[in-house]
Amino acid sequence: MWAGEARVRNMFKWMAGSSAKQGEEPPKKGATAPGVMSEFPWEPMGNYKYVLFLPFAYLAATGQDDADRWCYHMCVIAALRYLQAYIWHFLSRNHHISGRTRIQEKGIDFNQIDREDNWDDYIILQAYVSTAVHMLPYLYCSKGVCHAFSNFPLYDGKGLIKMLLIHMGPTEFIYYWLHRALHWHSLYAKYHSHHHASFVPEAITGSVHPFMEHLMYTANFAVPLLGTWLAGGASVAMFYLYLLGFDLLNIIGHCNFELFPAWPFVNIPGLKYLIYTPTFHSLHHSKVHVNFCLFMPLYDYMYGTLDPNSWALFEKASAGVAVPHKAPHTVFLAHGTELLSVFHLPFMSRQFAAHPFKTHWAMYALWPLTLPMLAVLRVVGRVFVADKHRLGDFNVETWVTPAFAIEFFFKSQWARINKYIEGAIVDADRAGVEVFGLGALNKNEALNGGGALFVKNHPELRMRVVHGNTLTAAAVLQKVPPGTKAAFVLGATSKLGRAISLYLAAKGVRVTMVTASRERFEGVVSDCQEEFRHNLVHSTDVNEGAHCDCWVVGRFLSAAEQAVAPAGTTFHQFVVPPLDEVRKDCKYTSLPAFTLPKSAQGFKSCEMTMGRRNVHACHAGALVHSLEGWKHHEVGAIDASRIDTVWEAAMKHGFKLVPDPA
């Protein structure tokens, strides 16, 4: 790449907001040795590439389209291609739908997400190539008559049959040998290895190829369209049926779950040679040198590249036994935050989910859909699986309570929410889950006593229920500088505030606990070892923090309250949402979070506002509980005497505290 191109690329990516954020990994190319014309011409444009659709939209909207209404149809076809891809993305990532007949157990990671980010470039390419052919005044002349690729009727049934036959013959045959050629060492390294870097394909993986490769495919896939036109059967319907039908079969082949039942292939002779299945093409991705066909296994059978295990694996996948179905070792239960957070679920948007959550303008455009989705969640009324991962030898899953943050603050909703959580706990225990972690508001003290309610209601639980707040407290305390003599704690009698205050007092720190309740303060003092109780001081006035530069904050602070702190104060936060950073002369720590160890695999989505491979401290706490094999529940009040133990266990297993921003 020449330097000027690099500068232009970086400029466009900065403008498009696609540069890596803190905690994210930079995108990695899949081809081992990218060849000539690997990149699409518009790649430096980043997300601004979508302006390339504007000429079509403009001509269609202003009545300047031609007699075929070509630009209009190109816009509609492009929109339908995006819609179809999205529907299959939703289906394939929805574990309730795709989980039973899954083919490959291994998950995908952020590298694959980034490499496949430009999956839709082929839609732009094919729109422009087909338009260029359509605009030629004459495509060929015969017997003194010149013909253009235009003047199409709306529909021609015989022409569609011709198109299908041409595809089954020349196009499938050419693709088979082209595909085999792309597996030759030099071409594979320069081009096709980019596609095969996706060992486990997703719905859109089938269109992830270098530019040069897409040019070859586009030329071949034009054969049925041009051939039908030459044979006298072209129509507008031909473009819709071929382009959308092609996408559908390409998507199906790259879904990591088997959607075909076995009976048609058993009862209809020869069917298995005429149409491939997701399992058939999955073997090509896992074994590489078998099952080269486009959509028809016939050519692999004819030329000896059919994997002998193809049909046996298909029957296993179709029956739902290709991948073992066993309960995860650990479950972490999350919940929605604001209404727009529904679009951050992995099956709702791979792009949003793969980056830290923020209310992007595209999300605001989806606002009208949030209320119907809220209604659907109410009707479904049960906890659902959002994502599946691996942590060393353990299967780990993230489940979601069908409730948004605001609902947790209405007492009238508590019984319903607790019913969701309790039902999930009972189901998980019955299935054989070992550890069940409660995230954020799912363990609210007022809601269920930090999970204690469920343990009380179900004393027979074999599974451990874990709120993870011991590690959260440890993470907050790690940010308090050694040698600190005094701390001003707000939210001091909350679960975290109490544990932090007790820990600091035992370390000889004078802790001023701000609480309006003398009774609650005395309760904390009674839990403190007698020799350290003198370090706990009661306060009801924020102004008493005017001479302390270490504020530990577990509740909202207004700008006026923050103004009390002396210059140079550090606000150590465990308040949700974080404080507004109104003091430029003070430091604000971020909410406690951990980067996952290397043994964590299959993480392809961000945990809300966390960076990639970062999780909230309570989530990490549940995972540490699993790795250590601890047999006790971690519910209710935090045992301050275990803070150091939990911290040391997290460090032993490779968790790293996410540093505060500079």
- Say what angle helices 469-478 and 617-628 make with each other, to 10 degrees: 120
Helices (H), ranges, 275-325? 278-287, 298-302, 310-318
Cβ-contact 56, 127 below 8 angstroms: yes
Pairing type for strands 593-595 and 614-616 reads antiparallel
Closest CA to 111 of 38, 20, 198: 198
Going by pLDDT thresholds of 50, 70 and 90, the confidence category of residue 142 is low
The 8 Å CB, 24+ separation contacts for 407-413 are: 408/335, 408/441, 408/444, 408/447
384 to 129, 326, 420, 574: CA distances (angstroms): 44, 16, 10, 28
**Token pair for 316:** 């296993």
Cβ-contact 310, 279 below 8 angstroms: yes
The most distant pair of C-alpha atoms in the chain lies apart, rounded to whole Å, by: 108
Whole-angstrom distance, CA of residue 580 vs CA of residue 384: 33
Question: Which fold, 480-588?
Answer: Rossmann fold (3.40.50)
**Token pair for 221:** 């896939």
| pLDDT at 10 (0 to 100) | 39
Backbone angles phi, psi at 649, to 5 degrees: -65, -40
Of 21-30, 433-442, 575-584, 643-652, which range is least confident?
Answer: 21-30
Cβ-contact 165, 175 below 8 angstroms: no
594 contacts: CB under 8 Å, gap ≥ 6: 471, 475, 614, 615, 617, 620, 650, 655, 656, 657, 658
19 to 14, 25, 355, 570: CA distances (angstroms): 6, 10, 11, 30
Going by pLDDT thresholds of 50, 70 and 90, the confidence category of residue 197 is very high
105 contacts: CB under 8 Å, gap ≥ 6: 323, 324
67 contacts: CB under 8 Å, gap ≥ 6: 150, 151
Whole-angstrom distance, CA of residue 319 vs CA of residue 101: 7
Parse the chain into domains and list their residue ranges.
29-251, 330-470+600-657, 480-588
**Token pair for 602:** 């299959």
> What is the pLDDT averaged over residues 165-192?
96
Q: Which amino acid is at 196?
A: H
Q: How many CB atoms lie within 10 A of CB 249?
A: 16
Whole-angstrom distance, CA of residue 272 vs CA of residue 105: 24
Task: List, for residues 198-256, the tens digit of each pLDDT value.
Answer: 999 999 999 999 999 999 999 999 999 999 999 999 999 999 999 999 999 999 999 99
Pairing type for strands 486-490 and 510-514 reads parallel
Residues in the chain: 662
Task: List, for residues 38-83, the tens digit of each pLDDT value.
Answer: 999 999 999 999 999 999 999 999 999 999 999 999 999 999 999 9
Q: Which residues pair with 387 in a beta bridge?
A: 398
Q: What pTM does this model have?
A: 0.88
**Mean predicted lDDT score pLDDT of the chain:** 91
**Which residue has better confidence, 662 or 319?**
319
**Distance between alpha carbon 492 and the CA centroid of its chain, in Å?**
36
Whole-angstrom distance, CA of residue 572 vs CA of residue 555: 11
